[in-house]
Each structure stands twice: as structure tokens, then as C-alpha cells.
Amino acid sequence: MAEVVLPNDANPLGNLLGGRLMHMIDIAGALAAHRHSHSHVVTASMDHIDFRQPVHIGDLLILKSSVNRAFNTSLEVGVKCWVENYIAGTTRHVASAYLTFVAVDKHGRHKSVPHVIPETDEEKRRYEDAGRRRDLRKWELGSRTKAKE
């Protein structure tokens, strides 16, 4: 996904608003989840986001998303964001995030998704990392639930 950062997307310093970038990340992630699941998807969580460098008005923002792993009805998607200087031919990594989406039917009921079959070393690494992040999410959710009791 590619977006040009416009003045309406920026704060008074001319930097892209973090919330606007999160919105674009959500859309880019949903597109990968839709394509993999062949289904409607809803955002369940955004685990982690790193804003590495500012993005300025006029920058060309490139967002690349990939399904790291699919579970029963949910998918973890990673999104990386770069700014491309199309004149100089350079790019710089500005943000990364992990999101979880849940596939749903037209009535909003959870729907099974196809599994990811990792082939390359990079895909295998992302697949295994997604499993560890899922375990951590479950552990954190359990800890919060116990704390409320």
C-alpha cells in the first residue's frame, strides 16, 4: 500500500500523526488478512508498534503486510512501513507493527481460516515468532483477568 503524506495527516510540526499511521497500518494489515482468509476480518488487537523515525508531509509512505501465521479463526499480520525517496532511490524504515485479525462470516460469527505453510527461512522465522507472541498474549490476558479477581 502506498500513501502520500498530506498536510491533513500531520501535526503542527509537519509530522504524520501516530494515529493516522496506525489507521493505515490497520488497513494494510486487513488487506493481507482478507486475501489470505478469503473472508471478512475484524481487528482483534495491535500488539506492538514501533515508531522509529518521523514521517513528514510530502513523504511517500510504503506499507508492506504479510500473514505470519494463521490459527483456527485468527491470523497474525506483520506490517512494516518505509518512507521512499523516489528521487534519490532510497528508503528508510519508519515503523513496524503486529496485528491480530479474526475472520468472520456475514453475520459476524468466527470463521476458520487456511493455515500458513512457511517455505523460506524468513517465513519459518516469522511463523515461529508469531506462535511465541500468541502464547505471550494469552499469558498477559490471563494475568490481567486474575488481577481483576
- The pLDDT value recorded for residue 148 is 67
- Where does residue 143 rank: exposed (0-12), middle (13-18), buried (19+ CB within 10 A)? exposed
Please identify which residue in the block is written with the cell numbers 519508519: 94
**Domain range list for the chain:** 2-148
Which DSSP category does 115 fall into? P
**pTM of the predicted model, to two decimals?**
0.89
- Average pLDDT for 117-142: 92
Q: Supply the DSSP string of 14-73, one letter for each residue.
A: SBBPHHHHHHHHHHHHHHHHHHHHTSEEEEEEEEEEEE-S--BTT-EEEEEEEEEEE-SS
CATH code of the region 2-148: 3.10.129.10
Q: Which tens digit of pLDDT belongs to each residue from 18-52?
A: 999 999 999 999 999 999 999 999 999 998 898 99
